[in-house]
Amino acid sequence: MLVRRTALASLLPALLLAGCAAAGSEPDQQDAPSLSVDEDLHALLPADVRERGVLRIGTDPSYAPMSSYGEDGRTIVGMEPDLGDALGDVLGVDVRFVDTDFTTILPDVDTGRLDLGMSAMTDTPERAEQVDFVNYFSAGTSILVQRGNPAGVFELEDLCGKVAAVEKGTTQVDLLDRAQGRCDDEPIDVRTYGTNSDALVQLRTGRAAAVLNDLPPAALLVTDPDTKANYQLASTAQLEPGLYGVAVDKDLPGLRDAVQAALEVLVDRGVYADVLAHWGVEDGAVQDVTVNSGR
């Protein structure tokens, strides 16, 4: 099996210098360009959203710096909430991020319980059969191990015969399943958990040899003063980089087009770049806001 890799060398310096933000905390706020409501885009929103005046966006807040609970334990903060708030400014509605199990985000968008999903979700052909994705970020997978790497994990093959902990429903589960072909006698013992935080407990307590995370959360864990004593990256390889997407009901093309156009406004106005830099994840920026462009 061929696993696409990109070197982290070009990605880690910005994350290390920024330190991302400490998990569950916000970086110092900076002045941002002012945004005005685009009435044409507001008109594209579904009638119930316009009447409600609120976009309900599902997220799994266990994935700092993308989305996590802030220091008050109640407010969801991160790059995605900040980007979502800016989307609301352009679309002329408030935004409410809803703590949602990662595996139910797409069904909830499909059934209308949520208007959108925004949760470091990679746009894949399988997921795109259920919803449309508006692509806004790019990241790949890193292998996270205990500090000192006691299990000796450097590559996926090193996980053969060992426990790998991952959040259920993620592309990392699929990656590990495909990697089983590399194991001769002992397969990878893939164990899935409800949240990324639950998976990290398994690694921290020695019950797993590794956790697979997207690069931004992994880089934060190995640089944040509160967690860096526990974790390190297995290598500088970033596996299978892909595009994150805002999930939108396929039956609501107007909402999809409004989100795409509003994101383009944020890119053009420099707000998008400011938000990513604010959270130390600017190396994941995309040049073009596309739809369903995942691998």
Q: What integer is the mean pLDDT of 204-221?
A: 97
Q: What integer is the mean pLDDT of 5-27?
A: 47
Strand partners, 214: 141
Q: What integer is the mean pLDDT of 37-66?
A: 98
Which pLDDT belongs to residue 295?
74
**Same domain for 127 and 45:** yes
Percent of the chain at pLDDT > 70 equals 89
147 falls within a domain? yes
User: Is 106 in contact with 275 (CB distance < 8 Å)?
Assistant: no
Which CATH number belongs to the domain containing residue 195 in this structure? 3.40.190.10
What residue numbers bound the domain in which 210 lies? 140-240
Q: What integer is the mean pLDDT of 55-77?
A: 97
Residue 100 one-letter amino acid: T
**Same domain for 247 and 229:** no
83 falls within a domain? yes
Residue 229 clears pLDDT 70, i.e. is over it = yes
Domain total of the chain = 2
4 falls within a domain? no
Residue 24 clears pLDDT 70, i.e. is over it = no
**Same domain for 169 and 121:** no
Strand order in the sheet with 76-77: 62-63, 67-69, 76-77
**Same domain for 274 and 186:** no
Which pLDDT belongs to residue 266?
98
**Same domain for 247 and 130:** yes
Helix runs in 53-195, H state only: 79-91, 105-111, 125-128, 171-179
Q: Per-residue confidence at 105, pLDDT binned at 50, 70, 90?
A: very high
For 19-23, 200-204, 244-248, 257-261, which range has the lowest pLDDT when averaged over its residues? 19-23
CA-based nearest residue to 295, from 126, 170, 164, 158: 126
CB under 8 Å to 31, separation ≥6 — which residues? none
61 falls within a domain? yes
3-state secondary structure of 185: coil
Which pLDDT belongs to residue 34?
78
Residue 280 one-letter amino acid: G
223 falls within a domain? yes
